[in-house]
Structure 1
Amino acid sequence: MVEAELAEQLAPDKYVALSREFAELEPVAEKIKAYRAAIQELAGVKTLMEDADSDAEMRSMAAAEKGELEEKCDALARALQVALLPKDAMDERNVILEIRAGTGGDEASLFAGDLFRMYERYAAKQGWKTEVVSASDGASGGYKEVIAEIRGRGAFAKLKFESGVHRVQRVPDTEASGRIHTSAATVAVLPEAEEVDVAINEADLKIDTMRAQGAGGQHVNKTESAIRVTHIPSGIIIFVQEERSQHKNRSRAMSLLRAKLYDVERQRLDAERAADRRGQVGSGDRSERIRTYNFPQGRVTDHRINLTLYKLPQVMEGEALGDLIDALVAEHQAALLAADEGTRP
């Protein structure tokens, strides 16, 4: 048993690997125990109903309990099925979150800022930590582009369906006539890749150091701490300047590059399996419009599952975002269950 192995003296890397395996297996084991206990309880009730020696009142109580127990067994069986579904190997990973303003000028930048704060607040409610890696401010506020790390167990499992185009409909503060404007921002959610996931040849890299740009006082003018990494084969360019240390900026740039290269490979494999993915929630395509935030009507609509919530302020505060995310996860699980049942003999 994994639990018994963990009690032994182990090398650090072996202990970490077994700890992860135990964390994955424990919830499944608990569901199996609960299901077996419910089945046993149901069997006891059925025995009592069939026992001619038991009085009529006891048999009546058992009959009333039987229906509830059957529903409980069905629910536990479904929960166990979901727990046994094959998991994305990246589900437990940290996340690289990228938000870019799209069509709509200054209003798009403001919306990109609103989206970032929404995810930041949602992450805080999950007990995750959000840290900005790089940001390009919008002329009137918000962001032209912001890249952040979200660190916490299961971050990718929860946020992976957020990739795509988010559209906003609202009246800008600068609009005197009260006309509703439509603008958009693109969200990309990448799992943080480790060195073992992506092999990067140093010969394929062009690394430039330069002075940081933007606000920062004397530090900006005196130190060449900003790092630009160009991956020559793919053409991917990463620029990081948030840290004062050149070493830290390089480390972050390499982490971003690994995530992007891993995502390119994931996208390629997903494209090859497109026919098998028809039942899944969205394609993950960055150009796919996935959600509309309508401020005048106070509603949010997720187009992939046709779900509309009339609690836009709570969603933007990160409080009700979980309602959308949980619905997307449930839809994804239902699709996987249907696919699994369809392959059974």
Structure 2
Amino acid sequence: MLEKLNFLEQRYKDLSMKVGDPDIINDREQWQKYIKEHAELEPIVMKYREYNDIVNELDDAKEMLKDKLEEDFKEMVKEEVNELTARLEELREELKMMLIPKDPNDSKNVIVEIRAGAGGSEAGLFAGDLFRMYSRYAERNRWKVEIMSSNSQGVGGVKEVIFMVKGKGAYSRLKYESGVHRVQRIPTTESGGRIHTSTATVAVLPEVDDVEVEIDLNDVRVDVYRSSGNGGQSVNTTDSAVRLTHIPTGTVVAMQDEKSQLKNKEKAFKVLKARIYEKVQREQSAEIAEARRSQVGTGDRSERIRTYNFPQGRVSDHRINMTIYKLENFLDGDIDEMIDALITTDQTEKLKHVQ
């Protein structure tokens, strides 16, 4: 750990020189890159310098104990040694936390895709419940929700809904929601009182900048067609719906919510870039050794992560074996307790690899 910290301090010193170099200042793009890295390193370097100061103070205090001292003074120095040792341990743990690799996507907006799974109309109702849950959670955090595409199913149900959540730290909180969500409840149409099990899948994708994913437009087939509403009704009389097919990966995105073909195309490209970026990230993480994966799950949308049990009023997350008996509040967007526990587990696992 100390080797890493020494390296980071040296890098910080180098950057301090570079951000004041007139030649680099004239290169605006390069200068901003160095300024950003400098700002990111500053907190950990300041903490490391405090750590080294305490180490020096502790060494001096221990040296004093080797001398012949009056008993009262000796006890005072011993007390100081104990305090400095405790502070040193605190700083060491803080530095370990700061050395956990940052997820470069944490500060980004997110694209969330919810799809009804097994369970027919009940699955559609549950997918709608999840959409409302995340919308309410976004409201609590003063994030903005923008629906990009939706395909409704009866009253309150959805076959699929794709929406963007815009706000600081949205991805850092919502990224743990990817996977299969399961609901157990008695449908209103069930006269025998039997509990039915349905599922919905959630995918959480970071919004992607153009520089992060380059898509060759020659690799994308663009089809336009007439939008259609529920029951085959024509939403409008122009070919405004857009379907994008990324030929190399077979990724298909269709958008028809907007009346403008251009707006549908823009939204479709946003989702296409996010899906391809996620695919690349998933392939990269698959190459990482199993021991280095977080215990909170791989984020794979085929992994069952949580059960919402209505008869018992509970929500259980299977990745961390945590159960909360506040189902109604949870579905109203009060999900911070669960997300905090997932983050803590994730950080604890990652800490094991910080030496």
**Shared fold (TM-score greater than 0.5)?**
yes
Tell me, yes or no, if structure 1 residue 324 matches structure 2 residue 338. Answer: yes
Deviation per CA, 1:164-189, whole angstroms, max 9, x where unpaired?
11111122233333322211111111
Q: Give runs of aligned pairs for residues 68-217 of structure 1, distance below 5 A.
A: 70-71=85-86, 73-214=88-229
Shift of the 49–183 alpha-carbon distance from structure 1 to 2, 3 Å rule, reads farther
Secondary structure of the residue that 1:149 maps to in structure 2? strand
Q: Distance in 1 between matches of 2:333 and 2:220?
A: 38
Matched to 2:338, the amino acid is L
- Which structure has the bigger radius of gyration? 2
Whether the 8 Å contact between 2:179 and 2:302 is mirrored in structure 1 is yes
2:104 alignment partner, SS class: coil
Q: 1:9-28 to 2 correspondence within 5 Å? A: 13-14=29-30, 17=33, 20-21=36-37, 24-28=40-44
TM-score for the superposition, normalised by structure 1 = 0.81
- The Cα shift of 1:44 comes to 9.5
What letter is aligned with 1:225? S
1:311-331 Cα offsets, whole Å, 9 max, x none, are: 222322222x22222222222
1:162/1:53 Cα in 2 relative to 1: closer, same or farther (>3 Å)? same
Which consecutive unaligned segments of at least 5 residues does structure 2 have? 1-11
1:303 positional shift = 0.9
* Counterpart amino acid of residue 284 in structure 1: G
- Structure 1 residues 7 and 266 mapped into 2: Cα distance closer, same or farther (>3 Å)? same
| Aligned-pair CA distance for 1:93 | 2.3
> Any unmatched runs of 5+ in structure 1?
none
Q: Over the residues paired in the alignment, what is the CA RMSD in angstroms?
A: 3.5
> How far apart, in 1, do the equivalents of 2:87 and 2:256 lie?
55
Q: CA deviation at 1:46?
A: 8.1
- State how far apart, in whole Å, the 1-side matches of 2:56 and 2:133 are: 46
Cα distance in structure 1, aligned partners of 2:60 and 2:313? 52
Q: Using the alignment, how far apart are the partners of 1:191 and 1:327 within structure 2?
A: 21
Measured after TM superposition, the shift of residue 290 of structure 1 is 0.8
Aligned to 1:291: 306
Match of 1:272 in 2: 287
Aligned to 1:315: 330
* SS across alignment from 2:224: strand
- TM-score of the aligned structures, taking structure 2 as reference length: 0.79
- Once residues 147 and 119 of structure 1 are traced to their aligned partners in structure 2, the CA distance between those partners, rounded to angstroms, is 12
C-alpha distance after superposition, 1:107-157 (max 9, x if no partner) = 111111111222222233333222111011122322111111122233222
Percent of pairs with identical residues: 47
Give every structure 1 segment of 4 or more consecutive aligned residues whose post-TM-superposition deviation is greater than 6 Å: 1-4, 6-12, 36-51, 65-69
Residue 6 of structure 1 contacts residue 15 of structure 1 at CA under 8 Å; is this kept in 2? no
Question: For residue 334 of structure 1, what is the aligned residue in structure 2?
Answer: 348
Is contact 1:49–1:59 with CA below 8 Å preserved after alignment? no
C-alpha displacement at 1:238, in angstroms?
0.9
SS in 1 for 2:211: coil
Aligned partners of 2:228 and 2:234 also within 8 Å: no
Shift of 1:37: 7.5
State the distance in 1 between where 2:28 and 2:234 align.
39
For this pair of structures, how many residues does the alignment match? 336
CA–CA distance in 1 between the matches of 2:248 and 2:119?
A: 33
Query: Residue type of the partner of 1:25?
Result: L
> What's the CA shift for 1:278?
4.8
For residue 258 of structure 1, report the CA deviation from its aligned partner. Answer: 0.9
Is residue 99–residue 354 contact of structure 2 (8 Å, CA) maintained in 1? no
**Offset of 1:241 from its aligned partner?**
2.3
User: CA shift at 1:239, angstroms?
Assistant: 1.1
Q: Which sits farther off after the overlay, 185-194 or 30-39?
A: 30-39
Q: Is the 8 A contact 1:48 1:59 kept in 2?
A: no
Show the 5 A alignment for 1:6-85.
13-14=29-30, 17=33, 20-21=36-37, 24-29=40-45, 31-32=47-48, 52=69, 59=76, 63=79, 70-71=85-86, 73-85=88-100
